[in-house]
Structure 1
Amino acid sequence: MEPLGIVPLHRALIFLIRERATIVDAVPSRIVRSAEAEFPMPRVVQFREMVRVPYRYGTVPLVACRPAAP
């Protein structure tokens, strides 16, 4: 498992509520409560499905291929 990035607490909770992520590590003494649910405060969340991460540093230049001289 490789970390993809850091997200704010409210974004991590949205992933948990929508069941797109699970809690891997949580703060044992902290609880986040809403009107309908209660979650331990997550430190690390893991996506349930693989997420495509785009290449960050621009596109890779394509090199023109020339046919070999006969």
Structure 2
Amino acid sequence: NLVDDETDQVLVRSMHQIAQRLGKKTIAEYVETPKAITILRDIGINYGQGYILGRPDPELSSQQHFLLNDIKIN
């Protein structure tokens, strides 16, 4: 529960930092709320998947990632 759990935020931030040092991009799955998008952006996560970003499309399932910095939050 990334939105309400600081431990989860620390773990995600740490995993992102490791990936960044290895020259990799990061993808967050199960992004479901505007608050989660904000937290993930602040951490620096590159891409996200989740219903708030777009409904699943079976034809694109492995390629359906959304650049978090391009998502507009109301």
Provide TM-score, normalisation by structure 2: 0.28
Q: Which has the higher strand share?
A: 1
Provide TM-score, normalisation by structure 1: 0.29
Q: Which has the higher helix share?
A: 2
Larger Rg: 1 or 2? 1
